[in-house]
Amino acid sequence: MKSLRWSAAMAVLTLSGAAVLAQPPASGTATPPAGDAAGAPRAAPRGMPPAAKLGEGPWDIKTEKQNLHVEVVVRGIDHPWGLAFLPNGDMLITQRDGKLRVVRKGVLDPNPVTGLLPVLPGGLGGLMDIALHPKFAQNHWVYMTYTKGEKDQNSTVAVMRGRWDGTNTLKDVKDIFVAKAWYGKAPLPVRCCGQGPQSGSYGSRIAFGKDGKLYMTSGDRNYGELAQLKGTHIGKILRLNDDGTVPRDNPFVGQKEWLPEIWTLGHRNPLGLTFNPVTGALWETEFGPRGGDELNIIEKGKNYGWITVTQGFHYNGEPAKGIKGVDGYTDPVIAFGPPSINPGNPVWVTGTRFPGWKGDLILPTMSRSAVRISFDASGRVATHQELMLQELKQRFRDSRMGPDGYIYILTDETDGALLRIKPGS
C-alpha cells in the first residue's frame, strides 16, 4: 500500500450507481463542467443551503454490505471539528468557536474546559483538531490546532499543548509550534484562478504516527501559488517532534530556502489525515476547487501538485496548467467530481463489529453524505464506492473508531452532534 500509485480515476468511479467521478483527459484542455460554455469563465456557487435540523433518531439504515443503527450520543455542539477518546471512554471535542468540550459517560458537560490559549475564530478558522500524545497514559499531553492572530490582520495556524488531569481546566498550556503561514491583511496580493477569501482553507488536521512524530496539515489560505514555495508552510503537510521541534530526518532539513518542518507540498485544503492501522501508510483528503477533491497517500518529500496540477476546475474558468500524469508531481489515489464532495476526516474500519466493512475507509463529507471506499485483494481502490447517510441531511466533519468498536461521526452544524454508528439487525 505504501507504494500505491494507481488511481481509481482510470475508470469512472460510481457511488451507489451515480457517476460522480470522471477524470479529465490526461493531456490537453479539461472539459468544463456541464453548463459551462467552452472558454466562458463562470463563477461557481460556493457553500450549501442551511442543513435540515437533525431528527431525534435513532435511524436504521440499509447499506450494500452492512445494516446500520445510527444514534445521537450528544447534540448542541457548535460546529464540532475534532474528536479524541480518553482512556476511560470519555471524549474531548473541539468547537470551531474556540471551546473545548467534554463528554463524560455519554453526557455533554455544560461547562467548557478552561485554560486554552486565545483562539481567532472567523471564516473557517478557530479551534480545530485535537490529538492525544501516544504516551498519554503517562504524560497526559493533549494537542490542539487553532488559528492565531488578530481580526482583519495576518493570521496563521498553530499547535497548543496542555496537560489533561480530568478536571475542567487544561494545565501547562503553551504553543509548541506556530506555522510560518501568516497571511490575510489587506491589501491582498493579486492571485490567479478566482480563489476565495483569506479566512478559508486553513487545513489543520493532526495525527501521530507510529514513529512518535506529529503530522499536521496546513492549507493554502486561498493563495494557492504559495503551496509550491519552499519558504512558507502554506499548502504543506508538516512533520514535528512531540515538542514542536524539527525531526532530523525530515526530507528538506539542511536544504537551502526550505523550511525544515515540510514533509510534503502542493496541497490545497487538507482536512483529513489518518494512518492505515495495518500498513502504517499516511492517507490524506483535501478539497479541490470545482471538483478535484482528493484522496492521497502521503509519502516523504512528494509534491502533490496544487496549484500547478489539479483535476478540478478553477472558479473563474481559467485552465489548470496540468491535470494528471505530470512529471515531478504525485497524482491522487482518487480524484472526486465535479461535483465536489468536500471530504472530511476519514476512518479505517477495524475490529469485528462491522464484518462487511472490515478494512474499508469511511469518508465523511460536507456534502451531507459519507462514502465507503473499499479495496480489492491487491490493495487497490475498487471502482465502485458507496454513498451513505444522505437520509440524515447533515454535513459530516470528523470520524473515529471508538474503543468500543463502533464508528463515531461529528456533524458540522451550528447545532452539531456526535453520532454513533452500530451494526443494525
- The CATH number of the domain where 243 resides is what? 2.120.10.30
State residue 32's pLDDT score. Answer: 54
The answer to whether the predicted template modeling score (pTM) of the entire model surpasses 0.85 is yes
Q: Provide the β-strand partners of residue 238.
A: 216, 262
**Does residue 27 sit within a domain?**
no
Q: Could you tell me the CA-to-CA distances from 26 to 29, 64, 97, 264, 352 in Å, in that order?
A: 9, 32, 42, 23, 41
**Does residue 232 sit within a domain?**
yes
Range of the structural domain that residue 186 is part of? 76-345
State residue 10's pLDDT score. Answer: 32
Q: Could you tell me the CA-to-CA distances from 160 to 177, 261, 277 in Å, in that order?
A: 7, 16, 26
**Does residue 338 sit within a domain?**
yes
Closest-CA residue to 155 (of 189, 176, 183, 119): 183
Q: What per-residue string of b and e applies to 362-373 under the rule 16 or more CB within 10 Å gives b?
A: bbbbbbbbbbbb
**Does residue 47 sit within a domain?**
no
Q: Can you read off the three cell numbers belonging to residue 320? A: 489548470
**Does residue 139 sit within a domain?**
yes
**Does residue 133 sit within a domain?**
yes
Q: What is the C-alpha to C-alpha distance for residues 303 and 300, in angstroms, rounded to an integer?
A: 9
Question: Edge-to-edge strands of the sheet including 59-62?
Answer: 59-62, 67-77, 416-423, 407-411, 396-401
State residue 51's pLDDT score. Answer: 72
Residue with cell 472558479: 315
State residue 4's pLDDT score. Answer: 29
State residue 52's pLDDT score. Answer: 81
Q: What is the C-alpha to C-alpha distance for residues 329 and 308, in angstroms, rounded to an integer?
A: 9
State residue 31's pLDDT score. Answer: 55
**In which residue ranges of the chain is pLDDT below 50?**
1-29, 34-45
Q: Which amino acid is at 335?
A: A
**Does residue 216 sit within a domain?**
yes
State residue 383's pLDDT score. Answer: 84
Q: Please compute Rg for the chain using Cα positions.
A: 20
Count of domains for the chain? 1
